Chains A and B, each alone.
Chain A
Amino acid sequence: MRATGVGASIQRGGGYGRVTGQQQYVADIRLQDALQVKLVTLDCARARIIAIDTDAARQVPGVRLVVSAADLPQPVARFGPQFEDRPILAVGETKYHGEPVAAVAAETKDAAEEAARLVRIEYEELPAVFSLEAALDPAAPLVQDPALRPGDPLAGTNVLREHRVGWEEIEAARADLVVEHTYEFPMVTHFAIEPHAFMAAPDGDGIAVWSSIQHPNWLQKVLAKILGLPLSKIRVHAPDPGGGFGGKQHAKLEPLVALMALRAGQPVRLVLTLEETFQAVRRTAARVRVRTGFHRDGTFAFQDVAADYLLGAYADIADRVVSKGSYPACGPYRVPAARILARSVLSHTTPSTAFRGFGNPQVNWAVESNIDEGARALGIDPLELRLQNLARRGEAFIPFDTPADGQWEQTARRAARLIGWGTPLPPGRGRGIALGIKSGPTTGLSYSTVRLLADGSVIVYAGTSDMGQGARTIFAQIAAEELGAPLDWITVVMGDTAVVPYDQQTSASRSTVLMGNAVLRACREIQSQLRAMAARLHGMDASLIAVDRGVVRLPDRELSTLDVLKPGLGRLGGELIGNGEMRKDEEPGHPLGGSAAFFEFNCTAVEVEVDEGTGDVLLVRHVTVSDVGKAINPLQVRAQDEGAAIQGLGHTLMEHYIFDEAGRIRNLGAIDYRIPTSMDLPLELVSDAVENADGPGPYGAKGMSEGALLCVAPAVAAAVRDATGLVIRDLPLSPERVWRALRERDAAAAAVTGAVQPASVPVAAATGGAPSGR
């Protein structure tokens, strides 16, 4: 392959701005006379708002606007991608710690902060629910007003929806071994290093909004509805987000800043603090009960999965997280009978939303761990058991969905080889392996326009948000490949709904496949125009001409694009414009509304060392192999794969929200919410990709940015078990949790042998990495 096009590790588009500080994220953009907005919140989760006194706040010099729900157009608009349940500002009641009750706009940040402190809110704290137990208690206070759910039989409960899928009768299935356990997945947050930022400014007879959003076109629709304006009067600027991971998919505070800008008649700017982002977005927590039936030979008899996901106070996209994340709960395996029940449970906590993996890591943690237990109980190697059940290419392993779309066995075997599966280990070490799938987009619509300019340079318009995954680079590589332009002659324009054609969204690792195909089609349309142009210039039938990578092939000779373009465009110049559309329509019969465009498939294998004195889990080696179809940019593929793996290590080893009894996040902020640093990496991290060019994207590519996160927790937990014999079904595997389990193990062993536990650590025996008792 040539060094510039598809398959080359070319430098990131937008890289120069990123290493020079010139890249402008939303908070870096200056709007003339912008007012600074500060939110006003309460120091508890759920409260009845009795009165709001803004007088003192208004007295602060420089304050221009103080708004609470009463100051907004009535009734206060609600919005949300699935349910229109989230009010622009709290109406009458707050439902989670950090929900905005009022907002101040002032000439300076200092004045806005001062005034926000001076907004006096009289409130009465109300009973609230922060956990699955509490939310599911029949006597629990309701999170959502039942009036918002007319005709819904579940409206009198905190269960927002139930999602059931399955096939065949599991009761009838005969199993030699049934393994049943319950697993917990904690609340974790995205912690994008760029906190969410929003600006809005009156723009003629419309409005311009700047947001760190992943889905600018979706935001445009939300704002048009709330403001009663046509789409054409809502211009959303969406500069590259500084990390999204799903947390920036949907509208959050844009409706508020838009209304404030219109009210103030001037630009307003709201940049959240990191703490406020913790209160704005998180992953959906889950408790997953798995009952797996095995035949004696290791084949599956059935899977019975019941997953309760804990949502926050507003649904955002989280109910979709639940349905889409849970339906592939049986994993990439041939499972003769399955029953999957997933429930979305509301609580008075931070609204949960999409987060890399989209509901799959939660069930995969549970199901893969349960499979591991079954393998051990049956005395079958966990890898062999998995391979034995693994769906082969083309197999309809989920009966109503896309058949297995890769040679998954190859991926699993490569990971096993790279970890040295089956080779001897030193004492205190253990290995674990897990497989995972996640379905790609089930519907989608992307348009791209590509312009081939008179000098042969190219402008690509694509409404994808490049939040680090590198979409900009990929689209440029596709255009370079198709039109033969050098990469530095290609400009990719994104992030402005007034300029760039519609794209449904940037999520589900879709952009290489969906927008990539749209770009490809736009380029191919230009190729056919070039062919027509060459036919006209050379007086022959277009069918005799081929265009390939910037070369126009006539029957007797080859011309460059420019050889055709220059005379073809003539003295007036001009350009060729291609449009591409990639549509994945709804499928009404499908439980998800559409089948998976592709599956992300990953195998993760790890080797760990457990320090029995402290409970520390050290990753000695971490191997992730993903089936990517085709790595259009191998460097970016590796970065995304490793990034997902390390993010997975966060929830596996250290991340979780800690709440107090009032529903306040205690570890609110970077001091006590710990994420992996450069010193927390596995000693060795190996990322590899399987490329069989069998994906639906350009050149056989598949989406791949989430796969490496799916298997981290079950692989690490299996390795800990291998090293210590401990079975831990709760995350994160923090040193303290592992230490507790070690202590319980030793206490149980002592109870059996009648030995007395030493009251203290023997001076001589407290060594690191003590051999396990295995």
Chain B
Amino acid sequence: MNEIETIAIELTVNGRRRALKVAPHHTLLDVLRDDLELTGTKECCLVGECGACTVIVDGRTVDSCLMLAVEADGAAVTTVEGLAIDGRLSPLQAAFLDKGAAQCGFCIPGQLMSAHALLALNPHPTLAEVQEGLAGNLCRCAGYQQISEAVLATAEGADR
């Protein structure tokens, strides 16, 4: 194999500017996990079905396994590591704990990112909207009800 040509990119990850060189065929998921060592974003199906690798790019969720890292040049990326501020859990994270939404936990970073983006767009979702909004995040422990409850409780809590 010949030396792979890399491309310089700059992006903001969880508010921090990062400049790095990436191989063109490496995905955003590869770069987050392997180059930036942000391993909160998980790898599972690699075909955009399970949502374990969900991150927010410029305000919208994407399956980071289906986005080349070079495509993120100039983008603002938020990963699960960016949700808590100074070690303080976001209301959504706290609600996930309260409602017992995390079991094995492997899907949870992706679920949180989808839920976070959903609430940003739709602060008062119905249960059906939560289920639709998070359908791209598989949970094999099947804590779907607890996850929905956490999202709805966060929405409710934001009113108070």
Contact = CB atoms under 8 A, between A and B. Distances in A.
* A–B contact, 8 Å CB criterion (strictly below): yes
A20 B144 CA distance: 19
A704 B77 CA distance: 41
Contacts of A190: 140
B103 A681 contact: no
A636 B79 CA distance: 27
Interface in A660-715: 669-671, 675-679, 681, 685
Given A21-B38, A647-B140, A636 B100 contact: yes
A468 B104 contact: yes
Contacts of B106: 25, 192-194, 242-243
Interface in B74-103: 79-81, 83-84, 89, 93, 96-100, 102-103
A274 B100 CA distance: 26
Which of B43, B79, B100, B144 gathers most chain A CB within 10 Å?
B100
B103 A678 contact: no
Contacts of A678: 130-132, 134-135, 137, 139, 144, 147-148
Contacts of A11: 97-98, 100
Contacts of A192: 104, 106, 140
Given A19-B96, A193-B52, A273-B46, A467 B108 contact: no
A18 interface: yes
Contact of B138 (A25, A109, A675): A675
Interface string B28-62: 00000110011111111111011010000000000
Contact of A635 (B43, B100, B144): B100
Given A19-B112, A678-B148, A193 B50 contact: yes
Contacts, number: 173
A14 B104 CA distance: 10
A417 interface: no
Interface string B1-40: 1011000000000000000000101000000011001111
B29 to A, nearest CB: 12
A681 B134 CA distance: 13
A401 interface: no
A189 to B, nearest CB: 10
A240 B105 CA distance: 9
A193 B42 contact: yes
Contacts of A639: 100, 103, 141, 143, 146
Contacts of A732: none
A274 B50 CA distance: 10
A110 interface: yes
B62 to A, nearest CB: 16
A194 B148 CA distance: 21
Given A114-B1, A639-B143, A677-B138, A241 B104 contact: yes
Contacts of B100: 9, 11-12, 635-636, 638-639
A271 interface: yes
Contacts of B52: 193
Interface residues of B, number: 60
Given A194-B104, A647-B142, A21 B45 contact: no
Which of B50, B108, B140, B143 gathers most chain A CB within 10 Å?
B140
B43 A467 contact: no
A365 interface: no
Interface string A130-145: 0000000000000000
A30 B37 contact: yes
A17 B105 contact: yes
A243 B61 CA distance: 24
A20 B84 contact: yes
Interface string B118-160: 0000000000001110111111111111111000000000000
Nearest to A473: B100
A21 B40 contact: yes
Contacts of B43: 27, 195, 271
Contacts of A109: 34
Contacts of B135: 677-679
A15 B102 contact: yes
B69 interface: no
Contacts of B103: 12, 243, 468-470, 639-640, 643
B107 interface: yes
Given A643-B103, A679-B131, A670 B47 contact: yes
Contacts of A110: 1, 4, 23, 25
A685 B23 CA distance: 47
Contacts of B145: 642, 681, 685
A11 B98 CA distance: 6
A688 to B, nearest CB: 14
B144 A243 contact: no
Interface string A406-431: 00000000000000000000000000
A642 B103 CA distance: 12
A23 B143 contact: no
Chain B contact surface mostly: loop
B67 to A, nearest CB: 17
Contact of A242 (B42, B49, B137, B147): B42
B131 A274 contact: no
Q: How large is the interface on A (under 10, 10 to 19, 20 to 34, 35 or more residues)?
A: 35 or more
A469 B80 CA distance: 23
Contact of B102 (A18, A61, A640, A681): A18
A109 B131 CA distance: 36
A193 B23 contact: no
B131 A20 contact: no
Contact of B42 (A17, A194, A244, A644): A194
B140 to A, nearest CB: 5
Contact of A670 (B33, B50, B99): B50
A274 B97 contact: no
Given A245-B140, A675-B140, A678-B131, A60 B102 contact: no
A646 interface: yes
A346 to B, nearest CB: 27
Contacts of B107: 193
Contacts of B84: 20
B80 A642 contact: no
Contacts of A23: 105
Nearest to A644: B142
A413 B98 CA distance: 31
A322 to B, nearest CB: 24
A720 B25 CA distance: 49
B37 to A, nearest CB: 7
B141 A468 contact: yes
Contact of B104 (A62, A467, A675, A685): A467
A15 B50 contact: no
Contacts of A62: 1
A669 B143 contact: no
Nearest to A636: B100
A83 to B, nearest CB: 29
Contact of B1 (A111, A245, A677): A111
B156 to A, nearest CB: 19
Contacts of B37: 30
Contacts of B141: 243, 468, 639, 643
Given A191-B140, A669-B45, A60 B93 contact: no
A21 B41 contact: yes
A468 to B, nearest CB: 3
A132 B39 CA distance: 43
Nearest to A190: B140
Top 6 nearest A-B pairs (CB, nearest first) are A21-B40, A242-B106, A468-B104, A18-B105, A646-B142, A468-B103
Given A193-B140, A643-B142, 4 more contacts: A18-B108, A19-B102, A23-B105, A681-B145
25 contacts: A15-B102, A16-B97, A17-B105, A18-B108, A19-B89, A19-B93, A21-B40, A23-B105, A27-B43, A61-B1, A109-B34, A110-B23, A114-B1, A192-B106, A193-B42, A193-B52, A193-B104, A193-B106, A639-B143, A643-B141, A670-B47, A670-B138, A677-B144, A678-B130, A678-B139
Interface of B: 1, 3-4, 23, 25, 33-34, 37-47, 49-50, 52, 79-81, 83-84, 89, 93, 96-100, 102-109, 112, 130-132, 134-148
